[in-house]
Amino acid sequence: MLNRRFTGACLVTAMLTTSLFTTGPAVAQAPLTDPKLAQVVTAGESIASLGTPAVLDHGHADLGPVKTDNNLDFLVRDDSAETPTWRHLEDVVFQVHDRAQLALPEGKEFNFTGARPGDPVWVVPQTEAQGVVWLGWNTQHPSITTAADRGVTLEFLGAQGPGKFSLFLQAGGFAQPQVLWNSENPNVQQMWAELNTHTHANWVFTQPGVYQVAVRARVKQLDGSASESTKILKFAVGDGTSTAEAATAQWAGTPPEQRTTADQTSQEKPAQQSNRVLVPIAVGLGVLAVVLIGASVWLRRSAQSRRQQATRRVSGAK
């Protein structure tokens, strides 16, 4: 009985401390229920020359890391024409027409968007919609699948625009939205994409206008080296927003490539940031200590009970 009780207590402790200590980027991989997500990316696909402007306002497109001349680049695979073409994000504007406008559903589960139920929002959707750009990401280029170690980390470094921006996955049914990126959160936000995956999510903008979304792709390679590429995605949201204005928009303030995962909001004090790490550790150790103390007390009481029983038996024998 002692072994069973103590083993069970340790198992509970292990489960609790595992849930407390496990951290890392969100795993962003939507279920492959849409047959349109099945695709093959080949090494021979063309890459447009830098300086070739393009406006993507309909059809399929994927963000993705590609190694060119042994350097990592973060591009977009334009699949809106018959032949896919990889384009430099410096040259691309994603136009989100008013036909992409939806009313935010009732309920609190979408409060993270910064809009209220019933408010109009512009959505680049998780599932393809006629006449609306369908933007996702993939980790399928052979230059990545043959060189990267397991997957790619995508980091949201911030957004600038007239309203709020968020990116989320919706599994369907009554599942809660999985928030991946949110401009209301000032911290660097990471998500992990396994190799050979293709994912789409909902890109939500709360107001029309020009938006800039800063994203970094980070790849750890099989040889142990690491590389990264930071780009700014430009969106012209709403029919009245000029794509030319979006194309020439400049990031205001500190360049996003200077941000790191340790760069948290300036309103937080360093001690508060440290507590975010130390509190889970303290809680985990506290749970372990309580269990061990409880087991120790149980052992002492059990031993004391056995001694008393032995004493009574000896006294009875006399």
Q: Is the dihedral of CA 6, 7, 12, 18 positive or negative?
A: positive
* Confidence at residue 300, expressed as pLDDT on a 0 to 100 scale: 54
Instruction: Kindly state the helix (H) or strand (E) to which residue 145 belongs, with its residue range.
Output: helix 142-145
26 with 190: CB under 8 angstroms? yes
Q: What's the pTM value of the predicted model, to 2 decimals?
A: 0.75
Mean pLDDT of 117-124: 98
68-95, pLDDT tens digit by residue?
Answer: 988 999 999 999 999 999 999 999 999 9
* Confidence at residue 262, expressed as pLDDT on a 0 to 100 scale: 74
Mean pLDDT of 102-115: 95
Token duo for residue 125: 């959707």
Residue that wins the pLDDT comparison between 114 and 268: 114
Q: Is pLDDT above 50 for 16? A: no
- Domain parsing of the chain, residue ranges: 2-15+273-317, 31-267
185-232, pLDDT tens digit by residue?
Answer: 999 999 999 999 999 999 999 999 999 999 999 999 999 999 999 999
Mean pLDDT of 162-176: 90
Q: Is pLDDT above 90 for 33? A: no
Q: Is pLDDT above 60 for 14? A: no
> How does residue 306 score in pLDDT terms, banded at 50, 70 and 90?
low
> How does residue 8 score in pLDDT terms, banded at 50, 70 and 90?
very low
Q: Is pLDDT above 90 for 282? A: no
Q: Buried b / exposed e across 172-189, counting CB within 10 Å, b at 16+? A: eeeeebbbbbbbeeebbb
> How does residue 37 score in pLDDT terms, banded at 50, 70 and 90?
confident
